[in-house]
């Protein structure tokens, strides 16, 4: 895995593929390649900037999004995440913590929280904002002892952050190892089929023609003249989440929120 591709930019993906106002990036000959654009966005958001950036899909579809959502208070979270928060218990692992939006909230509620992110600048931003324990770590290289956590957060559309199904299954198996017997995973994603946008539907058809799930997307970030690396995100419907969970020793027991953005609650089989 390219260890410099950021986890938590998937929060903004939830708005990037909604059917709201869209924009297309106009080529800038001065644009520069930068691997950790996400970290730059997190640093700016932690400093109080709006950090408006662009997410581009590999078919040219693009959308502007606010980096400040990574520091949003609980009252401004997506409804599905607010509702699913009643499931949180005990010691928490926040995968793809970004600038510490969720980690800081639950820490303030009295939970012991460990955040991880693959962006060093995001880790620094989370620490700057007061998250007590944050590590530079990949979701497919979880370096924790067995039975450490009671709750795992995959908020911000992070259920499919590793892209390919086998990598997601491997991550969930590893989470099975490092969590307690009654642990819960709160996994946010969206059903890609819940759209009537012609651009999304055309993308789905292209995926189908290549034998690729419709919720598999290749994306990159653009910010302040910089262009990031392409990477892959997997979005799943409830049936797909259930199948992937079952392969990993988990089961989907309930969901919160609409198909457009929901949180699945996973418990051990």
* 3-class secondary structure per residue, 87-124: HCCCCEEEECCCCCHHHHHHHHCCCCEEEEECCHHHHH
Residue 221 and residue 100 share a domain: no
Do the domain assignments include residue 2?
no
Q: How many C-beta atoms surround the C-beta of residue 110 within 10 A?
A: 7
Do the domain assignments include residue 4?
no
Residue 155 and residue 135 share a domain: yes
Nearest to 233 by CA among 215, 251, 214, 210: 215
Cα 196–chain centre separation: 23
Any idea what the CATH number is for the domain that residue 240 is in? 3.40.50.150
Residue 252 and residue 146 share a domain: yes
Residue 215 and residue 158 share a domain: no
Q: Which domain does 40 fall in, by range?
A: 10-70+196-233
Do the domain assignments include residue 1?
no
Q: Residue 24: what pLDDT?
A: 31
Residue 222 and residue 153 share a domain: no
Number of compact structural domains in the chain = 2
3-state secondary structure of 188: strand
Which residues of the chain are under the pLDDT cut of 70? 1-34
Q: Compute the radius of gyration of the chain from its Cα atoms.
A: 17
241: left (phi over 0), alpha (psi -120 to 50) or beta: alpha
- Determine how β-strand 32-33 pairs with β-strand 226-227: parallel
Please name every residue paired with 152 in a beta bridge, in sequence order, or none if there are none: 93, 185
Do the domain assignments include residue 44?
yes
The whole-angstrom separation of Cα 211 and Cα 222 is 29
Q: Which are the contacts of 2, defined by CB distance < 8 A and separation ≥ 6?
A: 35, 229, 231
Residue 174 and residue 95 share a domain: yes
Residue 131 and residue 176 share a domain: yes
Q: What is the largest CA-CA distance in the chain?
A: 54
Note the pLDDT tens digit of each residue in 215-224: 999 999 999 9
Sheet hosting strand 92-95, strand order edge to edge: 133-136, 113-117, 92-95, 149-154, 179-189, 262-268, 250-256
Residue 244 and residue 139 share a domain: yes
The whole-angstrom separation of Cα 248 and Cα 269 is 9
Do the domain assignments include residue 155?
yes
Residue 164 and residue 91 share a domain: yes
- pTM comes to 0.88
DSSP state of 177: H
Note the pLDDT tens digit of each residue in 200-235: 999 999 999 999 999 999 999 999 999 999 999 999
Do the domain assignments include residue 246?
yes
């Amino acid at each position: 895995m390219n260890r410099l591709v950021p986890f938590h930019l998937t929060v903004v993906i939830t708005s990037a593929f909604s059917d709201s106002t869209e924009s297309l990036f106009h080529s800038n000959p001065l644009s520069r390649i930068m691997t950790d654009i996400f970290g730059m966005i997190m640093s700016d958001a932690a400093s109080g900037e709006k950090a408006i950036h662009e997410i581009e899909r590999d078919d040219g579809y693009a959308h502007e999004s606010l980096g400040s959502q990574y520091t949003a208070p609980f009252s401004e979270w997506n409804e599905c995440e607010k509702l699913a928060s009643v499931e949180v218990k005990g010691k928490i692992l926040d995968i793809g913590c970004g600038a510490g939006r969720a980690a800081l909230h639950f820490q303030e509620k009295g939970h012991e929280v460990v955040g991880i992110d693959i962006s060093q600048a995001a880790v620094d931003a989370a620490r700057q904002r007061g998250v007590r324990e944050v590590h530079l770590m990949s979701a497919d290289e979880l370096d924790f002892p067995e039975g450490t956590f009671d709750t795992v957060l995959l908020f911000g559309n992070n259920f499919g952050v590793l892209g390919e199904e086998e990598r997601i299954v491997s991550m969930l198996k590893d989470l099975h190892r490092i969590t307690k017997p009654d642990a819960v995973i709160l996994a946010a994603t969206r059903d890609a089929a819940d759209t009537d946008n012609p651009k999304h539907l055309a993308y789905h058809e292209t995926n189908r023609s290549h034998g690729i799930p419709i919720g598999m997307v290749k994306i990159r970030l653009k910010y302040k003249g910089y262009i990031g690396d392409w990477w892959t995100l997997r979005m799943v419907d409830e049936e797909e989440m259930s199948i992937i969970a079952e392969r990993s020793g988990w089961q989907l027991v309930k969901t919160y929120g609409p198909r457009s953005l929901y949180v699945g609650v996973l418990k051990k089989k």
